[in-house]
Amino acid sequence: MDSDQKLLKLLGNKDVLALAFGAMIGWGWVVTTGIWINEAGSLGAILAFVIGGIMVIFVGLTYAELAAAMPLVGGEFVYTYKAMGRVMSFVTTWAIIFGYVSVVAFEAVALPTVFEYLIPNFSQGYLYTIQGWDVTITWAGTGMIGSIFIAWVNYRGIKLTSFINIILTLLIIIAGILLITGSSVTGTTATMEPFFQNGFAGLLTVVVMTPFMFVGFDVIPQAAEEINLPKKRIGQLLIFSVILAVIWYVAIIFGVSRVMTPSELAATNLATADAMGNAFGGSQLMANILVLGGIGGILTSWLGFYVGGSRAIYALAKAGMLPKFLGELHPKYRTPHKAIILIALLSTMAPLLGRPALVWFVDAGGIGLVIGWSMVALSFVILRKKAPEMERPFKLRGGSVIGWIATILAFGIATLYLPGMPSALGIPEWIIIGFWFLIGTVFYNYSMRKYGKENAEEHMKKEIDRIA
């Protein structure tokens, strides 16, 4: 392979940790914490995130072993290919890409909500109405401009992306610590009531949202070829990032519920920001500081999922499962620039769907992510039996037991999205999912006819042999 066609190994410990943690801690903790608490109650929401976190930790453990054993670009694509072959690897990776693109689109829709909070009468220039919500020029334009900027940063290379990501992650942490400290001192346990709301259905409704909130640790294996660390460290950092995210979400829910009643939460668009203001005696300045942390979360998540999504598309294209032009690297920046442009086109159109799209992207993207996690956990189990001789620098004690637990938990969460369940997806979400997989089927069949199945088989054999 020509040196110009290699990704650059530039990421160290803090880069990797900031990439994963920043990707997981996006905008959801600012805008949807009130929804979680009102759906399940304060302790119910905390319990839902603990349940979701346990599932993600088990899945993360399987990822950690596989990422350390096969540190190749594409992550899930490589693991499922080695375990289950070409078709299942494409289905899994396309589902993961759907989850990533959903997050990227979510952030493009989320960004204008920040400006609505900070700037009075921000939304101007009426365009049209979607599900009772008015889309305006300033609202959609802000999201579209933000999308173009994030695409440009990713286009310019992983070094610039990582540098910006570390600074923004520090901003998020500072804002979160201020909220938790302030609410712990000034809040009350009485404000947290009711502790549980809507029974088991309320709990499940929040559990279903958790995969979307935890997605981000799997950006690490996508960028594995750009990590300049020992293989074992890749697995360690992946698990550490997941544990940090679980602690973060539980602490934020606790903090918000101590200073805002259910009625106050129902009346606000940015519950966490208003909670920050309440924690400091109604200070709008402190609320705005929290919003700045939220902006940091939007940008870190946005940056991280451009990295993950573009690398996954790049890996599929290199194997001839997507059009080959998507597998080209920029001659100067060594980024999969055409894959980045493809994601940018999808992300930049998302704000035109208005704020209702926030819920659509969370719910629809979640099922893509859980499908991907389920298949990776299953691949872990298969490879423990199929390839026992494979070098595993981060080898889990407990073997296949952990893999089976992760598989059952992930598939169990996936069933909650199905019709008939209390938290089933709605018609808009299924339309989005159906459209995405239709596009994938067209791309895959076109690529197989043009490049041939043998091309994919030969490419993947060479890739896996590189780390054998």
Q: What pLDDT, on the 0 to 100 scale, is given for residue 173?
A: 93
R_g of the chain computed on alpha carbons: 21
What per-residue string of b and e applies to 74-96 under the rule 16 or more CB within 10 Å gives b?
bbbbbbbbbbbebeebbbbbbbb
pLDDT band per the 50, 70, 90 thresholds, residue 467: low
Integer Cα distance of 279 and 261 in angstroms: 13
> What is the model's pLDDT at position 424?
79
Q: Which of 259, 292, 302 is nearest to 118 (CA)?
A: 292
Q: Could you please report the per-residue DSSP string of 294-335?
A: HHHHHHHHHHHHHHHHHHHHHHHHHTTSS-GGGGPPPTTT-S
pLDDT class for 13, splitting at 50, 70, 90?
A: very high
- The pLDDT of 147-169, averaged and rounded, is 93
Q: Would the pLDDT of 468 be above 80?
A: no
Residue pair 45/126 in contact (Cβ under 8 Å)? The answer is no
Question: What pTM was computed for the model?
Answer: 0.88
pLDDT above 70 coverage of the chain, percent: 97
Question: How many CB atoms within 10 Å of residue 339?
Answer: 27
The answer, yes or no, to whether residue 4 has pLDDT greater than 50, is: no
Is residue 134 over pLDDT 60?
yes
Residues 104-113: b if buried by 16+ CB within 10 A, e if exposed: bbbbbbbbbb
CA atoms within 13 A on the CB side of 380: 34
pLDDT at position 330: 94
Q: What is the pLDDT of residues 396-408, one digit of tens each?
A: 988 789 999 999 9
Q: What is the mean pLDDT of residues 348-372?
A: 81
Structure tokens at 139: 């609202």
Tokens of 228: 């300049």
